[in-house]
Structure 1
Amino acid sequence: MVAVTAQAPAKVNLLLQVGPVRPDGYHDLVTVFQAVSLHEEVTVTPAREWGVSVEPADGTDVSGVPLDSSNLALRAARLLAERAGVDEPVHVHVRKGVPVAGGMAGGSADAAAALVACDALWQLRSGLDGLAELGAELGSDVPFGLHGRTAVGTGRGEQLVPVLTTASFAWVFVLGSAGLSTPAVFAECDRLRALDGRADALGDGRLEAVELALRGGDPEELGAALSNDLAEAACSLAPELVATLAAGREAGALAGVVSGSGPTVALLAGSVPAARRLARELAPVVGAGRVRTATGPVPGARVLEPLV
């Protein structure tokens, strides 16, 4: 019996612009993803029947992870098997290092890792583009979990164009005390916009500013360009985020932004040592268990090793 383990990264949105609601119920997005060095690990093992289990890494709360057929990693494995004509159930074991419902695409990383692991286990050689096409059926962030690095996402976020940058950036992430529902945050964004009649503009120059900062590799310039249209809605639903962002700035962060739909707060530091100092400053304020340091960009989903 052979088990295969794959790893996939969390993401932070350097930019998240939210357009109008589409006929299919989704919003048009323009986003810049960066993969960071918080990871999910997924191990797939041949089994008599399909199943899934989960364990925490680094104290991650896994109480909200479903252990039934709705689990995204298990859905990914079964979808690949169905499309490839494979009749070999697997047990999917997830080791979670990314916050649940935290706006960092932990579930999507699970799906990306499961696709890569099963593809290797069954020796399908589907290719990255083929797996990304399947991943888009599972969730908007899954293709980026497969590709990693830094990329502009459009459509629902699943249409990716790589952003070439040789720079590395240092981050401190403050996890929320409770998760936020992505649909609820988008609904709150729509509600707040309707109240004051704001337009859903996408082409306002913010994307160009982020791309320029990435090419230049200057963390201060990138910090000035960070932007998230969902931040107001996330803060409306979780008001403590306002204090967390303020605490990050006071502790020396170059800039802070709500990651995706929240409630994780991403704080940009000038260097890895600066990120460590920032984390030490924040730990007594927000709780040491809620602070993580990471760097980005990092590669997308990849097989770690087959276990015989």
Structure 2
Amino acid sequence: MSEALAPSSVHVRAPGKINVFFAVGGLGDDGYHEVASAYQAVSAYEDMWASPSDSFTIEVSGSVDVAGVPLGDRNLAIRAARLLADRCGVDAGVHLQVRKGVPVAGGMGGGSADAAAALVACDALWGTGLTSAQLQALGAELGADVPFALMGGTAIGLGRGEQLSPALARGRFDWVIVTSGDGLSTPEIYRELDEYRADHPESFLWAGASPQVFPPVLKALRTGDARLLAASASNELQIAAIRRRLELNDVLQLGHDEGALTGLVSGSGPTIAFLTEDESSAIDLQIALSAAGHTALHVHGPVPGARLLAS
């Protein structure tokens, strides 16, 4: 793209996600676990503005606590921008301005959404013209959740979670998410799960096998049946997150008492996602949880993946 035609800035929005189902296989020789996940992109968003620069810089603000977000080369969005520039032979930098709406280290893929947004934004800014498949391949090098943040909607993830296939989802699912001030480390949660599973092997179906998403989960998504999804949703990382953060049990119980169809830890936690019957029920639950002193947000899904917005 010529300098005269290059945009002065681009605006991209990328969604957070909820794992409505998450099963974990055994620890492989490569140090990673094989997983099976049903992802749903939800209306908690990361907004990113990308503008030309001689270097790679980032600034972060938002409606969530951003104190723990790295601002240098450890930031996943900066790594995404550098990766795209390297692979496409771009001799330019970028300044990324991020407004975060996804909890940090909360199991909802906020960092992955930032990386997805950076790939889409820099592709547009630099005119590299990559296809969706090419962007997803780059995203998979950065993290298992990045390809889904690019795809959005509802999808099944296998392997490390990056082997994606879209899942048919009808209608709208309303969720209330409860955030925590302190995040949880994903590697530590997996270690906790491995330790617990070694002592309780009878409690896990997939410790020595390739995990799969339960058919009732797929049927619930396909038919838009919130009650069926509530009965079949699960997350095998939840027990590990609760062992590290016992108070999560109290929040789960409160949500059930206040009318949630079900509640589960999202990803590696500590964010909790409560599924409700409909939008009105979600608003009522949000009010009740907020009155009890929790930070609660009503979101819905599925929503699109990372996409350009009008400047």
TM-score by length of 1: 0.95
Given that 2:20 and 2:37 are in contact with CA atoms closer than 8 Å, whether structure 1 keeps it comes out as yes
Give the whole-Å Cα distance in 2 for the aligned partners of 1:184 and 1:109: 21
Cα distance in 2 between the residues matched to 1:176 and 1:29: 25
1:127 corresponds in structure 2 to 131
Summarize the Cα distance change of 1:45–1:207 in structure 2 as closer, same or farther, 3 Å threshold.
Answer: same
Secondary structure of the residue aligned to 2:45 is strand
- Cα-to-partner distance string for 1:6-45 (whole Å, 9 max, x where unaligned): 0100000010000001111110000000000000011111
Question: Structure 2 residue aligned with 1:241, among 239, 248, 258?
Answer: 248
Q: CA deviation at 1:204?
A: 7.8
How far is the alpha carbon of 1:48 from its aligned partner? 2.2
Unaligned runs of 5+ in 2: 1-6
2:275 aligned residue = 268
Matched residues in 2 for 1:183 and 1:205: separation? 22
Q: Which residue of 2 aligns with 1:174?
A: 178
Aligned residue for 1:63? Answer: 67
Aligned partners of 1:162, 1:221: CA distance in 2, in Å?
20
Choose from 18, 24, 30 the match for 1:24.
30
* 1:21-170 paired onto structure 2 within 5 Å: 21-57=27-63, 60-170=64-174
Q: CA–CA distance in 2 between the matches of 1:43 and 1:88?
A: 16
The alignment's C-alpha RMSD in Å is 1.3
8 A contact 2:117–2:306 mirrored in 1: yes
Contact between 1:244 and 1:286, CA under 8 Å: does it hold in 2?
no
Whole-angstrom distance in 1 between the partners of 2:154 and 2:252: 24
- Give the structure 2 partner of residue 295 of structure 1: 300
- TM-score, normalising length from structure 2? 0.94
- 1:58-114 Cα deviation digits (max 9, x unpaired): xx0000000111100111011000000001101111110000000000000000001
Q: Distance in 1 between matches of 2:28 and 2:196?
A: 18
Distance 1:197 1:207 in 2: 19
Of stretches 277-286 and 185-194 in structure 1, the one that deviates more from structure 2 is 277-286
Q: Relative to 1, partners in 2 of residues 1:49 and 1:223: Cα closer, same or farther, differing over 3 Å?
A: same
Q: C-alpha distance in 2, partners of 1:181/1:205?
A: 24
Contact 2:16 2:45 in 1 (8 A): yes
Equivalence map 1:246-261=2 (5 Å): 246-261=253-268
Superposed CA deviations along residues 120-166 of structure 1, whole A, max 9, x for unmatched, are 11111101110000000000000000000000000000000110122
Deviation (angstroms), 1:203: 6.7
Deviation larger for 194-203 or 101-110: 194-203
Identity of aligned residues (%): 48
What corresponds to 2:236 in structure 1?
A: 229
Q: CA-to-partner distance for each residue in 1:171-230, whole Å, 9 max, x for gaps? A: 000002310000000000000011223455167875211001111211111100110000
How many pairs were matched up?
A: 302
Distance in structure 2 (CA, Å) of the matches to 1:234 and 1:136: 25
Aligned match of 2:4: none
CA distance in 2, matches of 1:64, 1:78: 21
Change (3 A) 1:113 1:204: closer
Decide whether aligned partners of structure 1 residues 204 and 74 sit closer, same or farther in structure 2, where only a CA change above 3 A counts: closer
2:285 to 258, 278, 282: 278
Supply the distance in 2 between the matched residues of 1:39 and 1:251 (Cα, whole angstroms). 26
Q: 1:224 to 1:206 in 2, by over 3 A?
A: farther
Q: Structure 1: which amino acid aligns with 2:224?
A: G
The answer as to whether partners of 2:34 and 2:211 remain within 8 angstroms in 1 is no
Q: Counterpart of 1:64 in 2: which secondary structure?
A: coil
Q: Which residue of 2 aligns with 1:188?
A: 192
Report the residue type matching 1:162 in the other structure: P
